[in-house]
Amino acid sequence: AQKVTQAQTEISVVEKEDVTLDCVYETRDTTYYLFWYKQPPSGELVFLIRRNSFDEQNEISGRYSWNFQKSTSSFNFTITASQVVDSAVYFCALSLNSGYSTLTFGKGTMLLVSP
């Protein structure tokens, strides 16, 4: 069975600080997909990124960047120069290449960015 661990329950930073959210996953499959979602107080899940297990290139999108390391089974998410609007719960998730595409989520990390 697969598992996603987000050890950081809550992180508080001051605006403009950089922050990294950790994600460690477990699976015996060699083909899988990793995700990050943002959940603001409204509750709706906002998709941020998907990576497949064969693509270990780091990705940058504006202030967001992702570091995927298969050797340590980690898929960490960094927000550079954080803003108050980044305050939300962030979820890391895993999906196998089974055709069903169901997601296994971590417990989430609540990020609080204060002005």
Partner 1 sequence: DAGVTQSPTHLIKTRGQQVTLRCSPKSGHDTVSWYQQALGQGPQFIFQYYEEEERQRGNFPDRFSGHQFPNYSSELNVNALLLGDSALYLCASSYTGTSGYNEQFFGPGTRLTVL
Binding footprint of partner 1 on the chain (CB under 8 A): 4, 6, 33, 42-45, 47, 50, 52, 91, 93, 95, 97, 99-108
Q: Find the shortest distance in angstroms from Cβ 30 to partner 1.
A: 14
Q: Find the shortest distance in angstroms from Cβ 62 to partner 1.
A: 21
Q: Find the shortest distance in angstroms from Cβ 106 to partner 1.
A: 5
Please say whether the beta carbons of 89 and 39 come within 8 A: yes
* Strand partners of residue 39: 89
Nearer residue to partner 1 within complex by CB, 17 or 22: 22
Q: Find the shortest distance in angstroms from Cβ 102 to partner 1.
A: 5
Nearer residue to partner 1 within complex by CB, 16 or 50: 50
Q: What is the SS3 string spanning 43-102?
A: CCCEEEEEEECCCCCCEEECCEEEEEEHHHCEEEEEECCCCHHHCEEEEEEEEECCCCCC
Measure the CA angle with vertex 70, ends 66 and 73; round to 5°. 85
φ, ψ of residue 84 to 5 degrees: the values are -55, -35
